[in-house]
Amino acid sequence: MDWYAKSPEVVLKNLKSSWDGLSEGEVQKRYSRHGKNVLKVSKSKSKFFLFFSQFHSFLIYILLAAVVISILLSHFIDAFVIFLIVILNGVIGFFQEYKAEEIIEKLKRSLKYKVLVLRDGAQKEIDSKMLVPGDIVFLSEGERVLADLRVIESTNLRVNESVLTGESFPVEKSVNVLSGNIPLADRKNMLYAGTTISKGKATAVVVETGVNTEFGKLAELVQKTVDEKMPLEKRLDEFSRNISIAIVGFVGFAFVVGILNGIDKVKMFLVSVSLAIGAIPEGLPAIIAITLAVAIKQMYKVNTLIRKLPAAETLGRATIICTDKTGTLTEEELTVDSIYSSGQKFSVDKTKKVNSSFKKLLEIGVLCNNARDEKDNILGDPTETALIRVAKKYGISKKKSTEDNPRVKEFPFDSTRKMMSIVREYGKIKTSYVKGAPSFILERCTKELVGTKFKPLSKKRKKEIEKSYKRMEALGLRVLGFGFRQIRRVDQKNAENHLIFVGFCGMIDPARPEVKKAIREAISAGIDVKVITGDAALTTKAIAERIGLKGEIIDGRELERIREDKWDHIVRTKTIFARITPEQKLKVVETLKKQKETVAVTGDGVNDILALKRADIGISMGVRGSDVARDSSDMVLLDDNFASIIKAVRQGRRVFDNIKKSLRFLLAANAGEVLVIVFAMILGLPLPFLPLAILWMNLVTDSLPALALAVEPAEPDVMERGPGDRSLFKGVWGWVLVAGTLSFISVILLFNYALSNYTLEVAQTMAISAAIFFELFFAFSCRSEKSLFKLKNNKWLIYAVVLSFALQMIAIYTSFGSVFGFVSLTGKQLGYSVLTGLSGVVVFESWKIGKEFFRR
């Protein structure tokens, strides 16, 4: 129902309520009909469900199948190791998501709200959950609105609606009836759940509660929206399917070739199964989980809470960040930016010495002011607290000024006069101090204070002054006018006419100081930043210019008129989207995704949650964000600061790079194993690797070195290059092909040599050792596309390679190795195996050095 189009009396009549509120009996009836005034939230996931959801991926299914096959073949050690890796992956993912959910729950539990209502003609305080339609509610400065309300009485009422509309400045409210189809942001006689009273008082009647509020409708819609699968999850599932098909194809081919070469079917089956299990990169899920967990820990240090493991990597591949403005790019605190007096404009940041008219303006700012200065805490309307702060900067104390000039009478602000005045007394002299909308103040002024002199204010001079304040407004500043006069008779007409004009002050919600650098880093990292806000175009443009964000601007009304076929071009070319509705924000995000962009979206309010859900990564605010926004996001900014996103992007890119490094290593190693077996049989050679030896090789090489690569530090230029191709496998297959081919050629040559000079058992031990050493040394080349000589040491990789090397030595020179068919090697035989193993790292490092040389 359009409550804003009805008078207070009609609203009360339609709700079957009265100016005395509801009776307790009627409240109980309505409570049973409407239920609690709370949002219906999807049932939270149980710990059990959260744990088992970690195993929902194609690669995990393959590994579990490998466990079953290993058990059926009595390969219990291999089954145990693979199963252990699967469980480790699940535990890491569960622990991180559970910890994130706990932090979110703590944020929710810290918010408990009471509300003052009128029932049976008496005021009483109740839990906000017990509100019902028809309740009369009393609200005052600083209180949160807890249901949708129609204002029926108000005094100087202003409301912060940024959580709903994105508007950074408080909105003036009144009881006046509105007509026509009025957008939500312009319904000046309505108060909506989730917003906050920033100034004044109101008596209002509850019209909607719970899921029927504007907040609730959108929250319910969001809960029906399916979460977007992270790009990492999509690509890993796709990779798992493709690698499974490739492995089955290769292993099937190997089995057929083996049978044709006369190898026993049972033995060949065991070799094929071992080869299949060995070829699966079983360490990959655990490596990814550990890589992400390490990054998440680092991100938490920079005030970024990751709720879902894959989100850490997704942030690293982001190509566009769609950020809101208020509180993320800005301080969410009004500040006086500049002051106009005596015909001059002064920048508050740069002005130290002030003239008498400048000082007089600051005095009016604190004397015509209802905010309270309580030591380090200034309480009250954001506009008035800003005036007290700027006055303190220039040595003017609110406490002393008001004690020296006691209040006589206040004429509060209203929407008709667009001004307020307070009459104060100094000795026997009464002075009216006035502030308000610049045009309304100027209209009532007859003189101007210039320095210490009062000069007549001509029409010509008024036009000059008008141009000055309009120039300030064009810079995105909210402008207030100031005047005063001495009076004898205390009434509103005397207090607010024939004023002496003192000047204007321009206010703005300033940009966070660290954001400018963060924007610069984002741009140099190849990330486009778009501002999508419900705030005004001029204000948003002013902030964008201050933080170094250049680009074209468009507002929501203009966007409404854009034809469907023009959206793609508009979204691609515009940087600032102002006065945007939630539906428009969602459409911008969807259009960017159709353009194959990886999109991160920030948001704090109910107006953001659809876009948060649809984005590749939704980023909500931890300080001022709504519960619904946090529940809809993949990541929470604990300090609400855009700069923290860019710090987290660095960790995300580190994750992306390290997963690629681990993939290079695992796939190249496994490709070499498969090629050695297949080509040995094609060439009519005996099997170089026995079934259990294959599984041992994977246990030694696919675990520790791959994990060490997962914790590689970020490369120095990680934020100096663009996101490029966001495929995890871009550039990986070349390494796999070359390394796999090098491995199989060098191992086959060594095996053939050993067969000619030693026994089959020695040849097989040399071949498997060479393959293991090849993989261990090749891990160093996988660290970077730059030469090893230009990198700092990764101590964990050194430890991993040394330990894996030692394990192979133990297997060769103790009876333990006989389980895998190993025999002891002489120093010469071991030397040949080590030299063969070095071939990969030598070739790759030579290629890197050569490439860097020719680049010069």
Confidence of residue 179 (pLDDT cuts 50, 70, 90): confident
Asked if the model's pLDDT at residue 136 lies above 80, the reply is yes
**pLDDT greater at residue 105 or residue 323:** 323
Mean pLDDT of 58-70: 71
Q: What is the pLDDT of residue 582?
A: 81
Of 17-31, 512-526, 651-665, give the lowest mean pLDDT range.
651-665
| Pairing mode, strands 617-621 and 635-637 | parallel
> Could you tell me the two tokens for 419?
């001004």
In the chain, the amino acid numbered 834 is V
Tell me: the pLDDT tens digits for 69-95?
Answer: 777 767 676 677 667 767 766 676 666
> Could you tell me the two tokens for 647?
């710090």
Q: What is the pLDDT of residue 724?
A: 58
Confidence of residue 170 (pLDDT cuts 50, 70, 90): confident
Three-class secondary structure of residue 200 per DSSP: strand
The Cα 820–Cα 811 span in angstroms is 8
**Edge-to-edge strands, sheet with 304-306:** 304-306, 635-637, 617-621, 599-603, 320-323, 528-532, 574-578, 552-555
Mean pLDDT of 645-659: 85
The Cα 760–Cα 613 span in angstroms is 61
Closest CA to 739 of 779, 708, 699: 779
Asked if the model's pLDDT at residue 205 lies above 50, the reply is yes
Q: What is the pLDDT of residue 78?
A: 64
Residue percentage of the chain with pLDDT more than 90:
39
Reply yes or no on whether 127 is catalytic: no
The Cα 402–Cα 281 span in angstroms is 75
Confidence of residue 107 (pLDDT cuts 50, 70, 90): very low
Of 21-30, 99-108, 574-583, give the lowest mean pLDDT range.
99-108
Asked if the model's pLDDT at residue 573 lies above 80, the reply is yes
Q: What is the pLDDT of residue 198?
A: 82
> Could you tell me the two tokens for 159?
């409301």
The Cα 311–Cα 100 span in angstroms is 12
Confidence of residue 416 (pLDDT cuts 50, 70, 90): confident
Q: Among the residues of 789-826, which ranges form H helices?
A: 795-813
- Residue 461 burial (CB < 10 Å; 0-12/13-18/19+)? middle
Side-chain-side CA neighbours of 428 within 13 Å: the count stands at 0
Asked if the model's pLDDT at residue 222 lies above 70, the reply is no
Confidence of residue 340 (pLDDT cuts 50, 70, 90): very high
Highest average pLDDT, of 88-102, 185-199, 387-401, comes from 387-401
The Cα 461–Cα 109 span in angstroms is 58
Tell me: the pLDDT tens digits for 529-538?
Answer: 999 988 888 8
For each of the domains in the chain, give its residue range(s) and CATH number, in order of start: 3-34+112-224 (2.70.150.10), 231-303+647-855 (1.20.1110.10), 313-331+512-640 (3.40.50.1000), 335-508 (3.40.1110.10)
Closest CA to 500 of 357, 339, 337: 357
Q: What is the pLDDT of residue 106?
A: 53
Angle, vertex CA 487, rays to CA 486 and CA 491, nearest 5: 135
Residue 177: which region, alpha, beta or left (left: phi > 0; alpha: psi -120 to 50)? beta
Q: What is the pLDDT of residue 791?
A: 74
Q: What is the pLDDT of residue 110?
A: 44
Q: What is the pLDDT of residue 274?
A: 64
Q: What is the pLDDT of residue 472?
A: 93
Confidence of residue 290 (pLDDT cuts 50, 70, 90): confident
Q: Which of 324, 337, 373, 616 is catalytic?
A: 324
Of 35-49, 284-298, 502-516, give the lowest mean pLDDT range.
35-49
Of 58-62, 665-669, 842-846, give the lowest mean pLDDT range.
58-62
Asked if the model's pLDDT at residue 849 lies above 70, the reply is yes
Instruction: Find out whether 196 and 127 touch, Cβ atoms under 8 Å.
Output: no
Q: In terms of pTM, does the model score above 0.75?
A: no
Cβ-based neighbours of 424, under 8 Å, separated by 6 or more: 367, 402, 405, 406, 407, 408, 430, 431, 433
Highest average pLDDT, of 319-333, 475-489, 728-742, comes from 475-489
- Residue 164 burial (CB < 10 Å; 0-12/13-18/19+)? buried
**Residue 581 per-residue DSSP state:** -
Asked if the model's pLDDT at residue 777 lies above 90, the reply is yes
Instruction: Find out whether 119 and 21 touch, Cβ atoms under 8 Å.
Output: yes
Asked if the model's pLDDT at residue 359 lies above 90, the reply is yes
Residue carrying structure tokens 């004690």: 403
Query: How many C-beta atoms lie closer than 10 Å to residue 102's C-beta?
Result: 10
Mean pLDDT of 603-624: 81
Tell me: the pLDDT tens digits for 395-413?
Answer: 999 999 999 999 999 998 8
Confidence of residue 111 (pLDDT cuts 50, 70, 90): very low
Q: 11: part of which helix (H) or strand (E)?
A: helix 8-14
Mean pLDDT of 55-79: 70
Of 70-79, 218-227, 603-612, give the lowest mean pLDDT range.
218-227
Instruction: Find out whether 287 and 706 touch, Cβ atoms under 8 Å.
Output: yes
| Averaged confidence pLDDT in the chain | 84
* Maximum CA extent, the chain: 120
Instruction: Find out whether 695 and 78 touch, Cβ atoms under 8 Å.
Output: yes
Which stretches does DSSP call E strand in 682-810? none
**pLDDT greater at residue 715 or residue 517:** 517
Asked if the model's pLDDT at residue 216 lies above 80, the reply is no
